[in-house]
A = this chain, B = another copy of it.
Amino acid sequence: MDALTIHEAAEITDWSPRMLRYIERAGLIEPQRSDAGYRLYGPAELQRLRTLRELVTRFQIGLGDVGFAQRLRRDDELATAIDAWLQAQPQRPEHVPAADWLRWEQDKHSRLLALAGVRAESAAAANLA
């Protein structure tokens, strides 16, 4: 078998066994289990563990952030809601009155939703053309 136990996997990925269990609880990497319940890390898991380390150190993010990104990708409703909220962020053009501003934000929202791949090609065409 080419699957490693938790200590072996920890050693070659530069995590601690403790952290491998933690990462699993975070829902990020869930290795197979042996009949006796031992965690078995295959090549794919090892690769993902190394990449994960690279990711968090390079961008200074936390495992919770990666977990949140994962949730974002799986919960479409959440993604849409956050997307909608974030649309209203950019520097508001000073001269545009509030009412028009809101309308502008709303329009832009549709355009970006379309851009994001949410099935709305017609709207995208209409707005981006």
Residues of chain A whose beta carbon lies under 8 Å from any beta carbon of chain B: 42-44, 47-48, 51-52, 55, 58-59, 61, 65-66, 68-70, 72-73, 75, 78, 81-82, 85-86, 88-89, 92, 98, 101-102, 115-117
Contact = CB atoms under 8 A, between A and B. Distances in A.
Contacts of A102: 44, 47
Nearest to A2: B98
Nearest to A81: B55
24 contacts: A42-B98, A43-B98, A44-B101, A44-B102, A47-B88, A47-B102, A48-B85, A48-B88, A51-B85, A51-B88, A55-B81, A55-B82, A58-B81, A61-B78, A66-B85, A66-B86, A68-B68, A68-B69, A69-B72, A69-B82, A69-B86, A70-B86, A72-B72, A117-B117
A123 to B, nearest CB: 14
Number of copies of this chain in the oligomer? 2
Contacts of A61: 68, 78
B98 A78 contact: no
B82 A44 contact: no
A85 B81 CA distance: 23
A12 to B, nearest CB: 16
Contacts of A44: 88, 92, 98, 101-102
